[in-house]
Amino acid sequence: MHSDPVMVTEDEAARRTIRRSDFVSCNQAFIDCRTPGSDRKENYAMIGPGVSQNSDQVVNLREPHGYNIGAAAMPNGITNNLHLHFTAEVFYCFRGEFLLRWGADGKDGELVLREGDIASMPTWIFRGFTNIGPDDGWLFTTLGHDDTGGIIWGPSVLQQAADHGLHLTTESKLIDTEAGDEPPEDDELVRPMAPEQIAQLRSYSVDKMRKRIASPSDLEYSTAPFLDSLLPGGGAELALVIGYGMTEDRDQEPPIHNPHGHNVAWLRAEPGNGMRGHRHHETQVLLAKDGEWEVTLNSEDQVTVRLGPWDMLSVPRGAWRSIRNVGDDTASLLVINGGDGRVRLQWDDEVTKAAADAGTAIDHNGYVAPYALVPRKIGE
């Protein structure tokens, strides 16, 4: 990366910081919001344009990132009905238990998501989920790309909604005749998928879907994923989930690797450890799962952001940043970067020099290697 670094002001950092207390739910985001059994869903949109069908949905940060971040919460027994997406949809279970089901009638298979699980749903298959745990269950979600194309609902979902006065137009607008909206013309309405179209959708077995779920017991953490892994203030461990992301450990491979428009990894660190100064050219969101984290932006005129559980920070492309666990216990956070390819890091000169003194460097393929074996230009 040779471009000038992006400087982040205090105001910009504050704009890009979304705290748990900033989340605003919308109970009428989608067409099934009045269907019995689905009428107590809470939908959230934190980052990106989103897919809400309600223009009043609050979005904390609308700036396009190449992906969207939102959340779903619901009491025990409440269901998110069958629908499909054109781009990747990923569920992050931060609390509770959810029964995930898929297929045109929801009967192709079922799996339970528990705290810490991440599930990547294939595109172009119907999926839905029900809270089978406590009332305060919580799923964060990401959707691939800025323009996701919206949602296709199962035919029965559209019919049940119409029975309760809700209709969806081809422009993805909700029409509520019970609230006094004019009934739409037939040619303005979204038409249900025809049976022959549904029959052409691909199917997933339970075993095949299980490979797209990363549970805490599945994670393989690298203890040396970065150039600064052996340096004071470094030492973070990284577990890839989706895509190769920003690991500099050549032996790491992600369990889920098809293109999503973003990559996802867990980063954990003991107190005082983290990642020293670095930057890269992709969008990045840091979402704290637990503990207390400190993110320092800029190499000069530094700005510091403190993140507690479920807080998130959007770091601008090209900005210098360092990450440190400032709590009393080992803590973890999600790192979500834009793009389908690897994320190549540029380290602060102090890190590069300290790593060289410790005997390591980054090779020409972007991975940590012995300093003595990496060719250097004259004068380096």
**How would you write the pLDDT of the chain (380 residues) with one tens digit per residue?**
557 889 999 999 999 999 999 999 876 555 555 565 556 778 899 998 766 556 677 899 999 999 999 999 999 998 888 999 999 999 999 999 999 999 999 999 999 999 999 999 999 999 999 999 999 999 999 999 999 988 888 887 777 777 777 777 776 777 777 777 777 777 677 788 899 999 999 999 999 999 999 999 999 999 999 999 999 999 999 999 999 999 999 999 999 999 999 999 999 999 999 999 999 999 999 999 999 999 999 999 999 999 999 999 999 999 999 999 999 999 999 999 999 999 999 999 999 999 999 999 999 999 999 999 999 876 66
Q: Do 234 and 148 have their domain in common? A: no
Q: Do 347 and 232 have their domain in common? A: yes
H or E element: which one contains 84? strand 79-85
Q: Do 189 and 239 have their domain in common? A: no
H or E element: which one contains 82? strand 79-85
Task: Say what the pLDDT of residue 193 is.
Answer: 84
Task: Say what the pLDDT of residue 55 is.
Answer: 66
Residue 153: beta bridge partners?
Answer: 83
Q: Do 228 and 189 have their domain in common? A: no
Task: Say what the pLDDT of residue 379 is.
Answer: 60
Q: Are 259 and 292 in contact (CB under 8 A)?
A: no
Which domain covers residue 329, as residue numbers?
Answer: 220-373
Please tell me the total count of domains within the chain.
Answer: 2
Task: Say what the pLDDT of residue 71 is.
Answer: 94
Q: Do 254 and 197 have their domain in common? A: no
- Domain assignment present for residue 5? The answer is no
- Domain assignment present for residue 22? The answer is no
Burial class from Cβ neighbours inside 10 Å (0-12, 13-18, 19+) for residue 207 reads exposed
Cα 257 to Cα 212: distance, rounded to the nearest angstrom: 10
Q: Do 159 and 38 have their domain in common? A: yes
Task: Say what the pLDDT of residue 52 is.
Answer: 57
- Domain assignment present for residue 230? The answer is yes
- Label residues 46-65 b or e (16+ Cβ within 10 Å = b): bbbbbbbbbeebebbbeeeb
Q: Do 53 and 156 have their domain in common? A: yes
Domain's final residue, options 214, 245, 274: 214
Task: Say what the pLDDT of residue 305 is.
Answer: 98
Q: Are 129 and 93 in contact (CB under 8 A)?
A: no
Q: Do 128 and 242 have their domain in common? A: no
Task: Say what the pLDDT of residue 177 is.
Answer: 76
- Domain assignment present for residue 378? The answer is no
